[in-house]
Amino acid sequence: MSKSKFENPPAAAESETREPESTLGTKRGRKRKRKGNGQADAEVIEENAKKGTGKSIKFDEPTQHVEAPIEKPEEPTPKLKTIPGPKPQVEPKSQPQQTPHESAKGPKKDKPDHGQRPNEKQRKKNLESRGPPPSRNSHVPPHLVKKRDELLQTRQTLPIWPHADPIRERLRKNNILVLTGETGSGKSTQVPQFLISEPWCTKTIAITQPRRVAAISLARRVAEEMGSYFGNQSPAAKVGYSVRFDNATGPSTKVKFLTEGMLLQEVLRDPDMNQYSAVVVDEVHERSVNVDLILGFLRNLVAEIEKGSSRRKQPLKVVIMSATADVEGLVNFFAEGFAKNSGQPALPEADKFISKCFVEGRQYPVKTHYLPQPSMDWVESALKIIFQIHYKEPLPGDILVFLTGQDKIEGLEKLVNDYAEGMDKEMPKLLALPLFAALPQQAQQRIFQPTPRHTRKVILATNIAETSVTVPGVQFVIDCGKSKIKQFRSRLGLESLLAKSVSKSAAIQRKGRAGREAPGQCYRLYTEADYKTLEERTTPEILRCDLVQAILTMKARGVNDVLNFPFLDKPPVESLKEALFQLLRLGALKADGTISDMGLQMAKLPVTPKLGRILLEAARPEKDCLLDVIDIISALSTEDSIFFNVVTEEKKEAAEEARRDLYRREGDHLTFLATVQQYADEETDRRAWCDRHFVSHRAMQNVMNIRKQLRQQCQSLKLLTPADLSKESSSSSPNTDAILTSLLRGFVSNTARLAPDGSYKTFVGNHTVSVHPSSVLHGRKVKSEAIVFSEFLYTNKAYAKKVSAVQMNWVEDVMKEAFGI
């Protein structure tokens, strides 16, 4: 293999065909590549398990009895990972057996690959030099060894395989490696295995993932490839994972996949990351807030170790893995850390400290089509193109349509079905399948069922199909070029959710979805000129979100000077300051800006700072309503909505009737409390209870997991004693005043008063806000003098979501306390 290629990403080699994208770290960075199909299957399995559709999942019954005092809680949650799925076999991220020679390279290229991959001879040579994996573990059962040896062949065909030795060499020389690996390169599974027997690798290797399902399925795959036990199957297991609700690591764990949030949580206890010899940060191009924080912490830590000012004396190896070819931003980012050390204003030769590596991926070519004219109505344009494809192109070949949201999806679904009815009976049929996160799990699963004979699937999806779900069998992508984006306006304390044009990198990502299994085509519902005007990158989340949580995370980990934290993209100073004030108002910071005891407690709770503050408030003796508030916070923390969203008028009335005993006149929060408590009290058949009440079983299972975790966490923070839990009886009526005033303490700025014209105006900023139609308070004839709400969201207008009625004097009291007026 050529050394020069290794050190230099082949930027020059791809000039014309390369779609511009080279500003990660300096400008914007965002997702582009995705997982292999096999992994997607695993994701489906895990997803299925997570959402709890599988009948085999058993949840712990509610704790009416005394719960054993928790020293070391043993597996608080069901073992999702071992649930047998329809296809338990996890495939590698790419399917090399299907791409013998004609695959094109990378989603951004339409032309075939010319000799980037090493030839067979080189590959053989690499194998010889490396030899078969050592089989010193004779106690490992034969079936694991057999599986490992079978998988070895597949591993050797991965594009990353020949890079093994260079990667090892680079990391011996330098502590930091920036690795670009395109879709299907195999980096996530192979890199940890390349490093595990290095001389410096005396401890564990951590690999972070943005999503839980990915962490679990990758860990399972790597265990198989290594011929090792997995997770906590055996104390000898060398591969494990750690995600929320599920820690499967043991004393022998050498390779540990974990979510980004989990690593951050570990940093809280162990800022020097002493348990690790290496940290591999995967999927950096997705630029989640957590990944940005991790990169900042790592840069600080590595620089301190280098300087000798850290308590840690052993080196920490860091591998940054991204799907985008833009290494320079990341290299410069880390080089700055070293430059600061040496007191130099400019970077010394960055290459002396930081290595680079580029690994090609595996993708089939995808042909792009644009509209000749801009379209006013892209739902209609999509409809036309669906049928155009259907008439013109032979089966098989499913169509994936990217739309903005549920309403558009349902609209187009109906249109497709209507027009399909009028088709010639001889024609292949069309099967329209919606796909969005709020869709019940069962309906989501339909995209994985085999296509019926003589039928073409049309999957109508949100951007869930961009990263989270890999839809199989897609040969045609239709991309409307828009997606809904959440943006936080820190000045107004308001979030907006609006459809905006996607970035070029997102458009490329969507297009790539057509080239996973065979050459494909992508129809963009806009003109080529429009494409050229798109932003290069999706704005990183850290520039779009409320920074309160990120800053508390930093403060709790010893970063006091937040304004000088090494951000890959630095948010505006005003937003940072606004978040600092917010934390001060919540009592998480002292006046000098350092973290308070309360702030530390909040940082240890797995909820947003506002919700954490509410829990602490409820624990105060004056309020003494923590258990009830935990129930409410659990319901607020789940991503799925508890109450099914009913469409038709009759169903709406039926739901209203069925939920009558849950609804509370005080508002949504106490309605949640009643729902959680009744669900928890239901001991015979919770699923049936949910069906009767038009409540989402999946959401409630999630709520119960969070509730359990919060109860445990509150115990270890000494907010709850085992005695509290034992004397609990949900028959006693809740102290609603205490609950609502506790909520107010966290949601100080989420309050509004009734104006003479019948509208609500926020206390802070005097903005008009409407009660969201999903609230039980929506459309009330008698309005309360003031409201508190959990979310403040602008869509068609500014809405208050999850709303409770409160007394004016309560609001005034809490404002005095928070603002010190």
Partner DNA sequence: CTTTTGGAA
Site for DNA, rule CB under 7 A: 72-73, 210-213, 243-244, 259-262, 265, 269, 288-290, 404-407, 436-438, 462-464, 468-469, 483-486, 497, 541, 549, 604-608, 637, 639, 641, 645, 709, 712-713, 716, 772-774, 778-779, 793, 795-796, 799
Amino acid identity, position 425: K
DSSP string over 468-499: T---TTEEEEEE-SEEEEEEEETTTTEEEEEE
CA-based nearest residue to 706, from 630, 799, 807, 765:
630
The nearer residue to DNA, 47 or 666, going by C-beta atoms, is: 47
Are the C-beta atoms of 267 and 305 separated by less than 8 Å? no
Q: How far is the CB of 484 from DNA (least distance, A)?
A: 3
CB nearer DNA, residue 297 or residue 799: 799
What does the DSSP assignment read for 222-288? HHHHHT--BTTS-TT--EEEEETTEEE--TT--EEEEEHHHHHHHHHH-TT-TTEEEEEE--GGG--
Work out how close the CB of 541 gets to DNA at its nearest, in angstroms, rounded to a whole number.
Answer: 6
The nearest distance, CB 622 to DNA, in angstroms, is 26
The pair of three-digit structure tokens given for residue 571, joined into one six-digit string: 């948010």
Cβ neighbours of residue 817 under 8 Å, at least 6 residues apart? 745
- In terms of Cβ atoms closer than 10 Å to its own Cβ (0-12, 13-18, 19+), residue 59 is middle
In sequence order, the 6+-apart residues with CB closer than 8 A to the CB of 209 are 188, 215, 218, 257, 258, 259, 260, 282, 283
Other CB atoms within 10 A of residue 307 CB: 13
* 390 versus 772: smaller Cβ distance to DNA: 772
In whole angstroms, the minimum distance from the beta carbon of 107 to DNA comes to 20
Decide whether 95 or 290 has the Cβ nearer to DNA: 290
- 711 vs 726: CA distance, rounded Å: 12
Q: Which two tokens stand for residue 269?
A: 């206890």
**For the chain, how far is it from start to end, CA to CA, in angstroms?**
69
> Which C-beta is closer to DNA: that of 6 or that of 747?
747
**Are the beta carbons of 87 and 43 closer than 8 angstroms?**
no
CB 104 within 8 A of CB 110: yes
Q: By C-beta, is 146 or 486 nearer to DNA?
A: 486
What does the block give as tokens for 433?
A: 């399948």
- Would the CA dihedral through 40, 41, 46, 51 be positive or negative? positive
| C-beta closer to DNA: residue 289 or 354 | 289
Query: Smallest gap, in angstroms, from Cβ of residue 81 to DNA?
Result: 13
| DSSP alpha helix (H) spans, 327-377 | 328-342
Shorter beta-carbon distance to DNA: residue 230 or 644: 644
Question: What is the phi/psi pair of residue 501, to 5°?
Answer: -65, 140
Rounded to the nearest 5°, which phi and psi values hold at 582? -55, -45
- Token pair, residue 739, equals 């609950």
| Cβ nearer to DNA, comparing 9 with 612 | 612
Nearer to DNA, 123 or 446 (CB): 446
**Cα 254 from Cα 106, distance rounded (Å):** 31
* Minimum gap (Å) between residue 360 Cβ and DNA: 27
Specify the residue, 253 or 404, whose C-beta has the smaller distance to DNA.
404
Minimal distance, residue 794 CB to DNA, in Å: 8
* Residues 158 and 185 sit within 8 Å (Cβ to Cβ): yes
Largest CA distance in the chain: 83
**Considering the complex, what minimum distance in angstroms separates the CB of residue 213 from DNA?**
6
d(CA 545, CA 12): 36
Shortest Å, Cβ 16 to DNA: 33
CB of 90 to DNA, least distance (A): 16
From the CB of 540, what's the least distance to DNA, in Å? 11
| Least CB distance to DNA at residue 525 (A) | 17
Q: In whole angstroms, how close is the CB of 362 to DNA at the nearest point? A: 24
Report the DSSP pairing between strands 768-771 and 520-524. unpaired
Nearer to DNA, 72 or 121 (CB): 72
Q: Based on CB atoms, which residue is closest to DNA, 17 or 645?
A: 645
- Helix, coil or strand: residue 463: coil
Contact 430, 370 (CB under 8 A): no
CB nearer DNA, residue 317 or residue 698: 698
Give the neighbor-by-neighbor strand order of the sheet with 317-322: 246-248, 239-243, 255-259, 204-209, 276-281, 317-322, 176-181, 354-359
Nearer to DNA by Cβ, of 335 and 379: the residue is 379
Q: Which of 472, 471, 543, 481 is nearest to 508 (CA)?
A: 481
Closest CB to DNA among 229 and 436? 436
Give the integer Cα–Cα distance in Å for 459 and 87. Answer: 21
Please state the closest distance from residue 96 (CB atom) to DNA, in A. Answer: 27
Least distance from C-beta 632 to DNA, angstroms?
15
CB of 333 vs DNA, minimal distance in Å: 20
